[in-house]
Chains A and B, each alone.
Chain A
């Protein structure tokens, strides 16, 4: 079964600086999707960025980018020019289709604090 691990329960960064959140996963599949979701205090789950495993190019969305290392099964999120609104819980997720079931397998989450 696929597993997703976020080894940093909490991170903090100064406003305007850059921070990287780590994520590793375990899978025997060759084609899959990886995601980062943001959960602000409102508890809404918001998609930040998506990466298709067959694409070698790292995905970027404005200030958010990933470092996807397929061989190492690593999928880190880099937030540049951190803003106060980036403060949230961040979840790494893997889309599994094992056994016909479509589901997202989530990591435990990393709570990001932005210091003004």
Chain B
């Protein structure tokens, strides 16, 4: 069964405490991406990766880092989280014909 998993699913943290949200896929696809969802704004791309060791910025990359050391994993790193990074985060895997398959989402609250 095709799967995109994210961990944790829910996280409450404090300003400045580094955190990592993991994303893993079993579909062997090269393209992976991170989005954040905020009310009234839809989803916006944070970072994407075309393949291992190839990453680039999306529309809202400030305050985030990513790495792609292996094909199946694409973690999202917040080195010093701030309250404006409180959001719902989605990892997505690029499939054929432009379709992207989304993980279940991670809800983050930064106090």
Roughly how many angstroms separate A109 CA and B44 CA in the complex, as a whole number? 12
Residues from 88 to 103 in B contacting A, C-beta threshold 8 Å: 88, 90, 92, 94, 97-102
Identify A104's interface contact among B41, B45, B104, B107, CB under 8 A. B45
Q: Is the CB of A103 within 8 A of B48?
A: yes
Asked if B90 and A35 make an inter-chain contact with CB atoms under 8 angstroms apart, the answer reads no
Chain B interface extent, by class: 20 to 34
Per-residue contact bits, chain A 26-52, to B (CB 8 Å; 1 contact, 0 not): 000000010101000011110100101
- Docked-complex contact B48 and A109, CB < 8 angstroms: no
Nearest Cβ on chain A to B48's Cβ, whole angstroms: 6
Q: In the docked arrangement, what's the CA distance between A108 and B38, Å?
A: 9
0/1 string, B9-48, CB within 8 A of A gives 1: 0000000000000000000000101010000111111001
A56 at the interface (CB under 8 A from B): no
Q: What interface size band does chain A fall in?
A: 20 to 34
Given contacts A33-B98, A103-B33, whether A91 and B56 have CB atoms under 8 Å apart is no
Most B CB contacts (10 A, CB to CB) among A42, A45, A93 go to A45
A95: CB under 8 A from chain B? yes
- Pick from A50, A100, A109: contact of B42, CB below 8 A: A109
Nearest CB of chain A from residue B22's CB, rounded to whole Å: 18
Cβ contact of A102, chosen from B44, B48, B88, B102, cutoff 8 A = B48
The 6 nearest A-B residue pairs measured at CB = A106-B42, A33-B98, A45-B102, A95-B98, A103-B45, A106-B43
**Contact residues of B with A, CB < 8 Å?**
31, 33, 35, 40-45, 48, 50, 56, 58-59, 88, 90, 92, 94, 97-102, 104-105, 107
A93-B43, A103-B58 are known; give 16 further A-B pairs, CB within 8 A.
A4-B42, A43-B88, A43-B105, A43-B107, A45-B105, A47-B99, A47-B101, A50-B99, A52-B97, A101-B48, A101-B58, A102-B31, A102-B48, A103-B33, A103-B45, A109-B42
A residues with a Cβ closer than 8 A to B are 4, 33, 35, 37, 42-45, 47, 50, 52, 91, 93, 95, 100-104, 106-109
Q: List 19 A-B contacts (CB under 8 A).
A: A33-B97, A33-B99, A35-B98, A37-B102, A42-B104, A43-B105, A45-B90, A45-B92, A45-B102, A45-B105, A91-B43, A95-B98, A100-B56, A101-B48, A102-B33, A102-B48, A103-B45, A104-B100, A108-B40
